[in-house]
Amino acid sequence: MTADDGTAMYSKADHDADGGLIRYVCACYALYGEGGVQPLPGGQGGDYCQEAQPYQGAILGACYVCLVIVGFSVFHMHLAMFQLVKVEALLFNASGITMVLTALASLCELCLVIVYLAELQGLTSPVYSMNDAVRPTIFGYFAVSMMSAMLQVSLMWADVYMKSKKMGADNDIITKLKRAVAATIFMSFIIVMGGLLTGLTLAAGGWAALVLIVISVAYFKEGKKLSQLLMPADASAPGASSAKAAADQILVTAKAIPFNNIFFIIFLGGHFVTVQRPSTKALSMICVFGFLIMAVAHQFRLLYYVKFGARKKLHKAGYKGFRSSLMSTMSSSSSVAPEDGKESAASTVSSE
């Protein structure tokens, strides 16, 4: 930079050994990738760093809270995936792909929080070389993995619909839906990753919001219809309890995904609005952490639905939840017969 760029106001202490301007550690840059001249003390166009300093401790604390929550999500996701593999329930189908994508999203989110912490505590280069190199890529993979996992739910529902006795087989529907999902995932990868890597974050965020809105509307509407279709007319008929359990689970998922997406979009939109003004930086940071926590809520919702589809195999292996899975893994006991040799009503539902 030259003096014409407004750098004459900076002292030698504001430059590195090569004469380049140093972007000091501050919350705004670590979280959003903003930098250049503005974060420097007395910088042109406003001192973003000094305005963010009062919140530095709170932001650092929030990062550690997120680290614990996201770390537990990663551990739980991969432990559950290991258990599904043990009982041969993790197949290369919509359910299995959803599980893998959800686990990948949780892992990327954990890496993202670690990058935030490293930058906020000044553990990396003062010119943010690590942040610039890995943060956009990690965030891109995290966002695309989450959207792709949610899109896979539609294929799970389509499979249930096609197997329903009330619907004749028509493979053309599944084929068209798979193509649409694949095309959306491909476009999401190109637009989100391209936008983040080139600095066009508004384009990446806009596309992500659009996909989430479409998913929310479609899932809420079609999930409710599918639940009603599967709901047995006679609650006392053979297999009625299992059909009702499947219908109820679809309805819960159809409501949960749009509910979480509403907050996703609010936090995403709130970030883009508040990050533009130094006076609202604190609100923008709240939006970032809110987005991360809602992602964990999504991950657990998808995990529960995948495990619901594999409940018969998990039940036969003695799986009774997170604690049972952890103890089983630690003791290396692969399977335990259900108590009294009986299956619960929920376990009699056929896998989706």
Q: Both tokens of residue 305?
A: 């639905």
Q: How far apart are CA 63 and CA 188, in angstroms?
A: 27
Closest CA to 90 of 251, 308, 306: 306
- Give the SS3 label for residue 15: strand
Domain assignment of residue 172, given as a range? 56-348
The answer as to whether 201 is a domain residue is yes
| Percent of the chain residues past pLDDT 70, beyond the cut | 67
Which tens digits make up the pLDDT trace of 174-183? 788 889 999 9
| Residue 51 pLDDT > 60 | no
Tell me, yes or no, whether 24 lies in a domain.
no
- Average pLDDT, rounded, for the chain: 74
Q: What is the pLDDT of residues 111-167, one digit of tens each?
A: 988 888 887 776 766 556 666 778 888 888 998 999 999 999 998 888 888 776 555
Q: Residue 75's domain is classified under what CATH number?
A: 1.20.1070
In a domain, 12, yes or no: no
Sign of CA dihedral 124, 129, 131, 137: negative
Question: What is the full DSSP assignment across 70-137?
Answer: HHHHHHHHHHHHHHHHHTT---SSHHHHHHHHHHHHHHHHHHHHHHHHHHHTT-S-TT-HHHHHHHHH
In a domain, 31, yes or no: no
Give the separation between CA 82 and CA 291, rounded to whole angstroms: 27
Do 124 and 130 meet the contact criterion of CB atoms below 8 Å apart?
A: yes
In a domain, 81, yes or no: yes
What is the total count of domains within the chain? 1
Classify 344 as helix, strand or coil: coil
CA distance 335 to 315: 9
Partner residues linked to 21 by β-bridges: 15
pLDDT higher than threshold 50 for residue 293: yes
Residue 48 domain flag: no
Q: Is 21 helix (H, G, I), strand (E, B) or coil?
A: strand
- Exposure string for 83-108, b = 16+ CB within 10 A, e = fewer: bbebbebbeeebbbbbbbbbbbbbbb
pLDDT of residue 279: 62
Measure CA of the first residue to CA of the last residue in the chain; give whole Å.
60
Q: 122 lies in a domain?
A: yes
Structure tokens at 279: 């006076």
In 255-296, which ranges are E strands? none
The pLDDT, as a whole number, for residue 175 is: 81
Domain-located, residue 3: no
